[in-house]
Structure 1
Amino acid sequence: MTNKAARNTPGTAATEGSRLDPRALNRATLARQLLLRREPVSAMPAYDAVGHLLGLQAQNVKPPYHALAARLDGFEPEQLSALMADRAVVRIVTLRSTIHTHTAEDCLTLRPLVQPARERELNQFRKGLVGVDLDRLAAIARELVEAEPRTLKQLREALIVEWPDADPFALGLAARCRLPLVQVTPRGLWGRSGQVALTTAEHWLGRPAEPAPALEAVVRRYLAAFGPASVKDMQTWAGLTRLRDAFERLRPELLTFRDDNGVELFDLPDAPRPDPDTPAPPRLLPEFDNLLLSHADRSRVVPPALKGRSWQGNQAYRTFLVDGFLAGIWKIEEDVLTLEPFGRLTKEQRHELVEEAGRMLAVLHGHESYDIRFGTVAN
């Protein structure tokens, strides 16, 4: 896949073997994430953006739409919604055992790539699966959801008949881990409601799963979207371990750098590494955006003093960036969008942030009227 984010990007900020501080890493990652400069949809349609970004976090319905609104110029929610209705993109559990919106092609290959991690996940629930034949469970569950899409509740109710002494929650999770279950529409469509109903990716897409891609190919794509990065960074993104060998096999064709802690970072030779002083416009991001989740060391986006401030328990807040770094959270309640900065913003930064919020509202909620206000984050 062509790294279109590299086009028309300011010149390189570092030479091979040099040190990249958090600001240099910030600008490089923002460029690849389409957050330093929005890519026109005429050059990178929504489908291509989903593929370039290796999927969009989709724990809730709206985040993929907010993610693309922040990254694409000319994006309209109907563009992604139509792709989902046409089964060109799907919602499925993949990376880090979380729901992602993937292209159909990535759904059929990335899920096999992370399948070993989904199998290991079952070890946490083995007490609730005593006496359960997992192969038979997968076969029964596949027959059920391919006969008609089922909710997890319906699936658990059917499986408990076969294993009445098992934990119903564990049975449902075992089906999700063993099978590539996608959420069928209308779930995920913009402006539509629908409960989570599941069938297999193969049944929904009308074609069989494909072999997991070569790790080297995935490393290249990860670096194109999230680099420069360490081995541990990619392992955090994928929820996998033992990726060092793949990086070593690619070493002759990659550049290497060091971060401020001396950790080795790998990168593609032709990937953008803008000057650290390149201006970074404010951006509003959805909860669980992969920008904040795809590195072991998140200091390239999250200042150390703000570590943990974008979360409460297991729930992530919607966040915004100022000068490329996490700077606050935002929320919509009724007809008010509230921006809650973690620290003091300049008058110009506040003005630009309000403009960006207004742009997002126009893209995703153009038929509604909202007030944009500043609030205070509760400590």
Structure 2
Amino acid sequence: MNENKNLYGVTALFDSANEIIHAAKEVEKAGYKNFDVNTPYPVHGMDRAMGLKRSTVGFFTLFFGFSGTAFILLFAYWTMSVNYPMVIGGKPFFALPSFIPVTFETTVLLGGIATVVGILAVFFNLPSNNHPLHDTDYMCSVSNDKYGIVIEAEDPKFNENEVTELLKRLGAKKIHTVMNPGKESFPIFEGRFVVFLILVVLVVCGGTYFTLNKVLYLEPFDWMLEQDKLIPQEKSTIFTDNKGMRTTIEGTVARGYLPYPFKGQTIPTETLANPLLPTKKVLEFGKGKFLTFCSPCHGNYADGDSRLHGQFPNPPTLHSARAREFGDGMIYHIIVNGQNTMPSYETQTTSEERWAIINYIRALQRAKNAKPTDLQEVQKELGVNVK
């Protein structure tokens, strides 16, 4: 154990890479753990000679690289699918291939930044900038043409005499002790230096802006501004009719609105089945749409007694025998095409809303025209027997 609290360690210099590798192996074999090697260039195999474990810097890179990937994908999804969904060329809101470049760039950017920060934090112990080896002859030598090793006094096996004898046996040319400096200082956080950096940033940024925009009138990155493109309401020479704004191609279908195949027919040529089950959620949804679009004419309970009752022609009740005999598909067909004085509600309602309205109409019809057998059917479905 080291008894001198001010002693940092013992340094030794060697003349060749082979000598320093041999010295590192012997020091590690002797049981020392707190030692380091300094060379003027990376020496292949030094990590194995020192018995070093895998560097933790790679985990910094991996974690922050994946963090960049996850962040940019979630951000792209939120902006394009949640916050401001926009149909571009018929592609999905979140088209992954279009985000691959920015995802790759963000992954590399955060991974690279994390690597640099990890190296500075792990190996250089920043923000401390007052290492005992700074400004020593040892550091000058290993930065030039010598190869050095330092065994720190914090090592449990450290004994100054034993360490010195070991390094002599290994053929070290110069052996010196290094003392810990006094109280550490952090001049990089000194107020005057920080103010100086801020002033430099302001002067450089302001001078660049003034020069480019006021003196030289340069417009950087103007290739997007000057490219050939179609401008709304402007003439274009790209097409033969010289029109920049184009009409949609025949057969174009808006996203989420599939064309109704039986539009214009009196009766649909195929049977349409309601894809929605009359669950509580569907009935509540259908009720809301019924009250919005249907009740102004048919009344809140489909009795035809709305504020239009008594006017010509009277709104029909949906509880008549004829209306109850309509299949779900026929009611759907009437909503889409309209009938008599009833206009089409194709553009006001979606397919799901129409089927939900039909389920709610069926619930009103069953409630208005209940039969004793209805109770028996419910009891059978619930598995109860009420007398």
Under TM normalisation by the shorter chain, which class is it?
under 0.3
Length-normalised TM-score, structure 2: 0.18
Greater percentage in strand: 1
Greater C-alpha radius of gyration: 2
Higher RCO by CA contacts (8 Å cutoff, separation 6 or greater):
1
